[in-house]
Structure 1
Amino acid sequence: MDSRLSLFAPCPRGLEQILADELLSLGAGDIAPTDGGVAFAGDARLMMAVNLHSRTASRVLLRLAHGGYHADQDIYRLAMGVDWPRWFDVSRTIKLKADGIAARVKSLDYIGLTVKDAICDRFRQTHQGRPSVDTRHPDVRVNVFLTADEATIYLDTSGEPLFKRGWREETGEAPLRENLAAGILMLAGYDGSQPLLDPMCGSGTFLVEAADIALNRAPGRARGFGFEALSSFDSAAWEKLQLDARKAEQPAASLAIRGSDRSQAMISIARANLERAGLADLIEVAAADVADTRPHAEHGLIVSNPPYGVRLEEQDQLAAWYPELGDWLKAHFAGWTACLFSGDLRLGKLIHLAPKRRTPLFNGSLQCRLFVINMVEGSARKQKDTGDNEIESEDGEQ
């Protein structure tokens, strides 16, 4: 394998700089953030380390070919130019996925088939037969990405997406993906030292990701990766990376992380997830309404994903509830910082508190904001003296 690999890590939109910082800390070079991901370079050891350690990447893709195209045949030729038998054995199953932005082709699915044909033809040239396709549990995944006039062919070194950490079985209705949750915690400034509360914890994603940060646990420690199926896989180097990661973990001790949710069913799911993540004895969770939840320390971070309504009546209920949420924060959480992630862009206005920051993020294709609100000591008293005007003085982008 070449010592220098050209790599690309997609991530949830809005987390590109956080991912770039992670890659820098892992020793990556040529770091170039772009919309929805970060390009970088490094050796095979770095590629494995990013898969193991990155909290915010969605995948780690290895770039094998890049070129312009006018017709489907140009993409076939580009794929034929890759020495596929060098990368994996013919006995490995494959899966093709084609994506594009403003791609000038009739069908992305057809482009996937075109590249699959090129891979099979390249293997046939070496008289090895052809690899089989397995769309459900492939050994090797190949991604094709098209713009209006350029095509890039990647080998997916991750396999399953990296937000699948290996601990989640049950989820709530719409769980936050683990890498987005980790990125939100990092944007909130969480480093594992602060008390943390999620009063709407759902299936416990923020709690597990926060604990992993606090205990310095590698997010990929409990799963397998696509690079293990490649011919160049160095199992000794991989075992050394895993061993070093285990040695770097903090000893398991009770954490100042708390979670609550008004749904007893969600708390049961959160407990099961904490159990599978090896955190059941370290984090307290309880069924409780937000309004009944109280701080467990003098200062700390609230990081939460409040519900946001899709239907009109839900939106009306939320519009009435946000001021109550603001009142609860003012009454009980002076000295804390509240970081609320929501797809309801009205929250910053309706909560009647002045967000210090509004960071645009995307949950899939849904435009969201991370509202960061500093709860100043004595803000409840100040509000009584001056009315709401001071609290509501900031008018952000909404």
Structure 2
Amino acid sequence: MTQQQYKIFLACLPGLEAVLADEARAVGLPDPVAVAGGVETSGDMHMIWRANLWLRGASRVLVRMGEFRAMHLAQLDKRARKFPWGDFLRADVPVKVDAICLQSKIYHKGAAAQRVERAIAETLGAPIDAGAALRLMVRIEDDLVTLSLDTSGEGLHKRGHKLATGKAPLRETMAALFLRQMGYDCSQPVLDPMCGSGTFVIEAAEIASGLAPGRTRSFAFEHFANFDARAWEKMRAIRATQPPPQFFGFDRDQGAIRNSQQNAERAGVADCTRFVCQPLGALQRPDTPPGLVMVNPPYGARISSPKLLYGLYASLGEVLKAQMKGWRVGLVTSDRKLAHVTGLNLTPGPLLPHGGLKVQLFQSGPL
């Protein structure tokens, strides 16, 4: 029996849409197309599960439920009451409704959300709760009402493994797409000389181990009306492989190293990762083939003195040039001048929003 096909939207940081489209293609999603803010694709409910389970760069997965025209609130109310909510929602599962109105005769998003909430409550019986995990998005643009469900729930960067973090941690979704931009293919060693909570190192080790990023967390789609728990358990029963121990993290802060080790244990990659407390100046090339140095040094509000930043980045460049010949560098920072100070001949990527700042991934060729 052929399953119903849906339009699917994979949300991501603006500037990384093409990278996510490449990842979506790699995990088997059909004909992904990069658009502003994410990637459009299609598939049945099993494909939606797969996207949530396997995509490392998406921030969430949305499914298009349907659409209709509405020129005024009474028409919205009437057509919302005729919509087949029971195809997606359950009467015993709370739902919250978010609305947005753009260039439409219906311009009050609060009133629009209220009409849809009332239609769901009175036709299906599902409770409306502003704190519900299940979120319905109503977008009214040019008088076209588009209904979408967030199938992810919590953002997909919340893998459930990185519980211990330091200041301004890099999101796993961003780290995964940066690794993909660097051409990481699971075979290269990965080293972070300022690893913080270990995001780059652990993400690379998980990819090499064949571990699905969503393997241990829950998702909003588990509360959908058509959810098949047995089929879902079968889909996420993945057998991991054991990559070589070639993922290295270093930091001068013992607490950061302890956090990284605990996060690696929870992620199931402790055997192929190594975290050591040491200053930047003590870095030595590991006994592996050349790979990737991925580093997210302090920048912006993360450190009080700009003079210290320039000295730190200059030292980073000197150490990497001396110790990591043949390796390529991926450096994340909010300041082109700091990247230039390293002397590493770095090429900037697109500007990306991160923690109230705009950051870029700067890439080098082999040192």
Q: How far apart are residue 215 of structure 1 and its match?
A: 0.6
Q: How far apart are residue 57 of structure 1 and its match?
A: 1.0
Distance 1:257 1:104, change over 3 A: farther
1:259-308 deviation line (CA, Å, top 9, x unaligned): 01121111111111112112223211011122221221351110111111
Mapped partners of 2:57, 2:64: distance in 1 = 20
Mapped partners of 1:309, 1:68: distance in 2 = 46
2:262 is equivalent to residue 272 of structure 1: yes
Tell me, yes or no, if the aligned pair for 1:356 and 1:371 is still in contact at 8 Å.
Answer: yes
Instruction: Name the amino acid aligned to 1:256.
Output: Q
Tell me, yes or no, if the aligned pair for 2:198 and 2:263 is still in contact at 8 Å.
Answer: yes
Determine which of 173, 176, 189 is the counterpart of 1:179.
173
Q: How far apart are residue 89 of structure 1 and its match?
A: 1.8
Greater mean alpha carbon deviation, residues 318-327 or residues 97-106: 97-106
Tell me, yes or no, if the aligned pair for 1:14 and 1:362 is still in contact at 8 Å.
Answer: no
Tell me, yes or no, if the aligned pair for 1:194 and 1:300 is still in contact at 8 Å.
Answer: yes
Partner of 1:291: 281
Structure 1 residue matching 2:60: 3-state secondary structure: coil
1:347-378 deviation line (CA, Å, top 9, x unaligned): 332222311453443326632111011243xx
Mapped partners of 1:89, 1:211: distance in 2 = 39
Instruction: Name the amino acid aligned to 1:131.
Output: P
Q: How far apart are residue 191 of structure 1 and its match?
A: 1.5
Mapped partners of 1:82, 1:58: distance in 2 = 28
Partner of 1:260: 250
Determine which of 306, 311, 315 is the counterpart of 2:306.
315
1:68-106 deviation line (CA, Å, top 9, x unaligned): 666555655564453112222211111233457889987
Partner of 2:8: 7
Structure 2 residue matching 1:208: 3-state secondary structure: helix
Structure 2 residue matching 1:65: 3-state secondary structure: strand
Instruction: Name the amino acid aligned to 2:275.
Output: V
Tell me, yes or no, if the aligned pair for 1:357 and 1:373 is still in contact at 8 Å.
Answer: no
Q: How does 1:23-172 map to 2 (within 5 A)?
A: 23-66=24-67, 76=77, 79-98=80-99, 108=109, 111-123=112-124, 129-133=125-129, 135=131, 138-145=132-139, 150-172=144-166
Tell me, yes or no, if the aligned pair for 2:168 and 2:302 is still in contact at 8 Å.
Answer: no
Instruction: Name the amino acid aligned to 2:157.
Output: F
Tell me, yes or no, if the aligned pair for 1:345 and 1:368 is still in contact at 8 Å.
Answer: no
Mapped partners of 1:187, 1:173: distance in 2 = 25
Q: How far apart are residue 337 of structure 1 and its match?
A: 0.4
Structure 2 residue matching 1:24: 3-state secondary structure: helix
Partner of 1:389: none
Instruction: Name the amino acid aligned to 1:10.
Output: A
Tell me, yes or no, if the aligned pair for 2:257 and 2:276 is still in contact at 8 Å.
Answer: yes
Tell me, yes or no, if the aligned pair for 2:93 and 2:126 is still in contact at 8 Å.
Answer: no
Tell me, yes or no, if the aligned pair for 1:19 and 1:56 is still in contact at 8 Å.
Answer: yes
TM-score, normalized by length of structure 2? 0.89
TM-score, normalized by length of structure 1? 0.83
Distance 1:27 1:197, change over 3 A: closer
Determine which of 268, 272, 295 is the counterpart of 1:304.
295
Q: How far apart are residue 17 of structure 1 and its match?
A: 1.6
1:179-207 deviation line (CA, Å, top 9, x unaligned): 11111111111111111101111111112
- Aligned residues: CA RMSD: 2.7
Greater mean alpha carbon deviation, residues 140-149 or residues 51-60: 140-149
Mapped partners of 2:258, 2:103: distance in 1 = 44
Mapped partners of 2:197, 2:346: distance in 1 = 26
2:208 is equivalent to residue 214 of structure 1: yes
1:95-141 deviation line (CA, Å, top 9, x unaligned): 23345788998765554444323322332xxxxx4424150xx3522
Tell me, yes or no, if the aligned pair for 2:161 and 2:263 is still in contact at 8 Å.
Answer: yes
Mapped partners of 2:359, 2:215: distance in 1 = 30
Tell me, yes or no, if the aligned pair for 1:94 and 1:142 is still in contact at 8 Å.
Answer: yes
2:229 is equivalent to residue 235 of structure 1: yes
Tell me, yes or no, if the aligned pair for 2:90 and 2:126 is still in contact at 8 Å.
Answer: no
Mapped partners of 1:99, 1:270: distance in 2 = 40
Partner of 1:396: none
Distance 1:327 1:81, change over 3 A: farther
Instruction: Name the amino acid aligned to 1:17.
Output: A
Structure 2 alignment gaps of length 5 or more: none
Structure 1 alignment gaps of length 5 or more: 124-128, 377-398
Partner of 1:379: none
Tell me, yes or no, if the aligned pair for 1:12 and 1:363 is still in contact at 8 Å.
Answer: no
Structure 2 residue matching 1:93: 3-state secondary structure: coil
Instruction: Name the amino acid aligned to 1:232.
Output: N
Partner of 1:349: 340
Determine which of 316, 334, 345 is the counterpart of 2:325.
334
Tell me, yes or no, if the aligned pair for 2:101 and 2:140 is still in contact at 8 Å.
Answer: yes
Mapped partners of 1:328, 1:109: distance in 2 = 56
Instruction: Name the amino acid aligned to 2:189.
Output: P
Mapped partners of 1:196, 1:233: distance in 2 = 38
